[in-house]
Structures are given as structure tokens and as C-alpha cells.
Amino acid sequence: MESALDLILVVVVVTAAGGAARRWNRSMPLMLLLIGWAGSFLPRFDDFHLDPDIVLVGLLPPLLYAAAVRTSLIDFRSKLPVIGSLSVGLVIATTLGVGAVAAWLLPISAAAALAIGAVVAPPDAVAATTIARRVGLPRRVVTVLEGESLLNDATALVCLTAATTAIEGHITAMEITRDFAISVVGGLGVGLLVALVIAKVQAHVADTVTLTAISLVTPFAAYLLAEEIHASGVLAVVIAGLILGHKADLLQSAPARLFAQSNWSTITFLLEGVVFLLIGLEIRPIVSAVGSSDLSATRIGLGALGVFAAVVVIRFAWVFATAAMLRLRDDPEALTPRETTVVSWAGMRGVVTLAAAFVLPAATPERDVLILIALVVPAGTLVIEGTTLPLL
């Protein structure tokens, strides 16, 4: 009964916060983080600990799938050079750059520094594209932001896996390369296979409710199957979503598509809110744990500020360099200087960063400090970048 009451309470809080955020034109993720933090002082949530698998396995696949289904495969392919540079190159550059800054400012190992770099590397899809659509940015800018956020999670999680393996033992460059190849190739293969199977099933189903139920199962099927063969579940979900979204008009009737879109909009809204609310409940225990660290508050603050600055600066440098290279090649899809500036500033962190922070092994040096930094970066980007992006 208590679990049922908690579930109802979470849904009510997320719904109320969403309505208030829209009414007052505020950031719903940030509002829910604050509500969660306030709720953590209630005796009922004294022993609350968020299992990262709840987010990475239970909540992330449907969120990615919903975003992938809405993304135009044709537009995605046309922007692939830019999207690939941001979702792979920029994530790796951010992991290395932030890792170097963290190792310089904090007494942690290189592996732990790279781990926090991988945690804060991937921007959040929803935060940027929601604002982009609201202020009427060009479609191709929205496509770049959507495409980047669909693929960068896979790259970041592969980097994080390599870093955490190094923390717990030893891993070579050859093993990292092999694991990355297996992750990418396996994820692509599983995504294509799941899309093919689901498409065959949908072609023989006419019932609207049944089609929607199938779509709800699809992201979990793709994710779990890929993870079973040690491939990228994130990439499998994205590939399946892109293909099925592209073929939706051939596989489903218009009423079925509208019904599914309506259901997915509600599900996405609730899941995103639940993630930020649950992580908000973790803020107080993390801050309390950091209080027992041997590091001074000044050093921890400098570490958080340094990591945040590195995240912003590296993104600016990489996005402008990518745009300049494409313009030198006379690529018609190269972003203009104005579009490049907006894309550079649209680097808000969100769900994956917050969840991945809790994946850091217990043996990680200064783990609580690193988790606190991982909470500061999304909050900082949501407050500073998120609130100023419409004006920019």
C-alpha cells in the first residue's frame, strides 16, 4: 500500500510541477530537482537510494525511443557529418578534456577523472529541443540537436564503462577499441533486427490499442537484447526508433499513429519528471556524504566550477571547429555562424548525466564528490544555458 501511495504521490507532484512550469515559463527539470531536494528532508525519504538501473534500464529506453520515432530519418541522414562529429567526437573530447581538468583540480586517479568526464559529456535531448521548438529555431538546427542527443548517450556510456573497468582493474587500449566496436556493430544489428521484426508484426495488426502496446514493448526489447550480447542498448533503441518512425505511415493508419503519439507524449512527460524528482531526493544524502570528505569546501567548489567551465568551453570550441571545417569543404549542410552559436550554447545536461553518476563504482576515489559535481553540472547548465537560450 505504501508503494502505491508513493507512486501516486510522484505522479501528482510531476503533473503539478509540469503545469506550474508551463504556466510560469520555468524549467520543469530544475523545478523537480528542487522539489525532490526539499522532499528529501521528510522522514519518509531518509533512506532513499536511487538504483541507477531504474533509470538506465527502466526509464531511458522509452525516452530515447520516443525521441527517435519523432526524428526524421531523411533529415538525420542529411546532417550525419555534423551529428556524428557532435555525438561521437565531441563526447570523446569532452571526456578527455573534463578528465584532464578534474585530475588537475582533484586528488583522483586518471580513470576516475575520465569517468566523471564521461558522465557529464552527453547533452540532454529534451531540454534543448523543447526550447528550440518553442522559440521557432530553424528545423535543421533542431534536427542537429535531436540527432546529437540520440547517439551521444551510447558513446558516453561506452566511455564510462571503459573508465569504470579501469577503476576496478585494468583495461588496455585494444580492449577499449574492441568493446567499442562490439557495442556499435552489435547495437546497429540488434536495432535493425528489432525494427524488422516489429515492422512485420505491425503490418498484420490493425487494432490501435494493440499497436500502441507493441510500441511500448519495443524499446525494452531492443535495449535488453543488445545488452545481452554486450552491445549498446542505447544505440539499438535509437536505430529501431528511427526506422520504425520512418516507416510509420506505411505500417499504421493515421488514427493509430495519432493515438500512439498521444500516449507517448504523456509517458515521456511523466518519465522525464520522475527521473529528475527521484534524483532530487538523492541530493541531501550526497551533500551529507561530501561533508565527511577530507577535501575542503573550496577545493570541491573549484573542482565543480572547473568541470562546468570545461564542459561549456569544449563544446563551443568543438562546434565552431566542426562548422568551420564543413564550410571549408563547401558542405551545404554546414551551420551558419548564428546557428553554430545557438548549437554551442544548447548543451544542457540531463537524465543520462544524473543517472550515470550513480554507476560510479564504490571504490572510486572521492566518489561522493564526483557525484555532487555530476549534479552541479546539469543544474548549472539548466539554470544558465537553459534560461538564456530563448534570449540568445
Q: How far apart are the first and last CA of the chain?
A: 48
Cα(234)–Cα(308) distance, integer angstroms: 25
CA distances 5 to 1, 14, 19, 273, 388, Å, are: 6, 14, 21, 17, 38
The angle subtended at Cα 336 by Cα 335 and Cα 342, nearest 5°, is 80
Cα(188)–Cα(194) distance, integer angstroms: 10
8-state DSSP, 359: G
Q: How many residues appear in the chain?
A: 392
pLDDT, tens digit (0-9, with 9 covering 90-100), for 221-274 = 999 999 999 899 999 999 999 999 999 888 888 888 899 888 998 998 898 888
Cα(379)–Cα(320) distance, integer angstroms: 24
| Cβ contacts of 384 within 8 Å, gap of 6 or more | none
Cell 522525464, located at residue = 272
Quick one: what percent of the chain has pLDDT higher than 90?
A: 40
In terms of phi and psi (left: phi > 0; alpha: psi -120 to 50; beta: otherwise), the region of 136 is left
Cell 518519465, located at residue = 271
Nearest Cα residue to 105 out of 355, 382, 370: 370
Residue 127 pLDDT: 64
Cα(28)–Cα(354) distance, integer angstroms: 15
Segment 305-329 shows an average pLDDT of 94
Residue 312 pLDDT: 96
Cell 563551443, located at residue = 316
Name the 3-class secondary structure at 217: helix
pLDDT, tens digit (0-9, with 9 covering 90-100), for 25-58 = 777 888 888 899 898 888 888 777 777 788 888 8
With DSSP H G I counted as helix, E B as strand and the rest as coil, what are the percentages for the chain, rounded to 5?
Answer: 80, 0, 20
Query: How would DSSP label each residue in 273-317?
Result: HHHHHHHHHTHHHHHHHHTTSSS-HHHHHHHHHHHHHHHHHHHHH
Q: Is the pLDDT of residue 171 over 80?
A: no
Q: Which amino acid is at 29?
A: P
Residue 215 pLDDT: 94
pTM metric for this prediction? 0.89
Tell me which of 4 and 212 has the higher pLDDT.
212
Residue 200 pLDDT: 94
8-state DSSP, 349: B
On whether the CB atoms of residues 356 and 118 are closer than 8 A, the answer is yes
Tell me which of 127 and 349 has the higher pLDDT.
349
Nearest Cα residue to 124 out of 317, 360, 315: 315
Nearest Cα residue to 270 out of 23, 127, 63: 63
Rounded to 10°, the helix 91-105/139-168 angle is 50
pLDDT, tens digit (0-9, with 9 covering 90-100), for 109-157 = 999 999 999 999 998 866 666 666 667 778 888 888 888 888 888 889 8
- Tell me what the pLDDT averaged over the chain comes to: 88
